[in-house]
Amino acid sequence: MAQTTEALIVIDVQNDFCPGGALAVAGGDEIIPRINRLMQEIPVTILTQDWHPEEHLSFAAMHEGRAPFDTIEMPYGPQTLWPSHCVWGTPGAAFHPALAIDPADLILRKGFRAEIDSYSAFFENDHATATGLAGYLRERGITDLTFTGLALDYCVAWSAIDAARLGFRVRVLEGACRAIDLGGSLAAARAAMRDAGVELEA
Ligand code: VGL
Ligand code: ZN
């Protein structure tokens, strides 16, 4: 069978990141029709799902005297504290109902360990604990990745940068993403993606 070398990676298009959700990204749901069309054009689709236990340490509620969007120091480095979101088994953790999920070959969950966050689809936030996605892609002979989803300046950017460092050819379709943009995070993420060799397309 002909080997495909291209995959679409759709990051965290879940209810909690869409309008009305616990960590809503402005316009998060607007990108879904384009993502669904891309699934018809790119032979392999992989979805990621932010998937946290209720007592995840990235949640501000777990830290007395802290508020969402504060930054604290964790053993693996600085960590932004978030409103509780994408708690496994809750409606907020489910994929947005408009997202096509049937075409996906793989659904990768991340952030399921209470003591460490995982923005990237490849490594947890210690930049060392692998999720297994690189091995999956390499075993299938996939070399070229197109990233879409939420949020552009966190999970999409961290995933795309790791992918480029791992040697994949990487493009991010910015029009099929939306950003949180916290304290200049969008500009910083775009610069870091460019430095890593990620192609930014509309
Ligand atoms: C995300 C913050 C916390 C994301 C996930 O998907 O970008 N951001 N958890
Ligand atoms: Zn999260």
Q: Kindly indicate the confidence band of residue 2, based on its pLDDT and cuts at 50, 70 and 90.
A: low
pLDDT in tens, 4-25: 999 999 999 999 999 999 999 9
Q: What is the pLDDT of residue 142?
A: 98
- The percent of residues in the chain predicted with pLDDT above 90, rounded, is 99
Known catalytic residue: 18?
A: no
Q: What mean pLDDT value characterizes the chain?
A: 98
In the DSSP assignment, the letter for residue 120 is S
Q: For residue 3, how far is its CA from the centre of ligand 1 (angstroms)? A: 32
Q: Which of 18, 86, 155, 177 is catalytic?
A: 155
Q: What is the pLDDT of residue 76?
A: 97
Query: 138: Cβ–Cβ under 8 A, 6 or more apart, which residues?
Result: none
Q: For residue 191, how far is its CA from the centre of ligand 1 (angstroms)? A: 19
Q: Kindly indicate the confidence band of residue 3, based on its pLDDT and cuts at 50, 70 and 90.
A: confident
The closest residue, in CA terms, to atom 6 on ligand 1 is 155
pLDDT at 137 over 80: yes
pLDDT in tens, 47-61: 999 999 999 999 999
Strand duo 77-80 + 106-110: pairing: unpaired
pLDDT at 1 over 70: no
Known catalytic residue: 153?
A: no
| Mean pLDDT value across residues 132-143 | 98
The closest residue, in CA terms, to atom 4 on ligand 1 is 155
What is the spatial distance between Cα 180 and Cα 165, in angstroms, rounded to a whole number?
A: 24
Query: In this prediction, does ipTM exceed 0.95?
Result: yes
**E strand or H helix at 45, and its extent?**
strand 44-50
Q: What is the pLDDT of residue 81?
A: 98
Rg of the chain, C-alpha, whole Å: 16
Q: What is the CATH number of domain 6-53+89-200?
A: 3.40.50.850
Global pTM value: 0.98
pLDDT at 184 over 70: yes
| Mean pLDDT value across residues 84-95 | 98
Q: Which of 12, 29, 50, 117 is catalytic?
A: 12
SS3 state at 179: coil
Cβ 154 under 6 angstroms from ligand 1: yes
Q: What is the pLDDT of residue 89?
A: 96
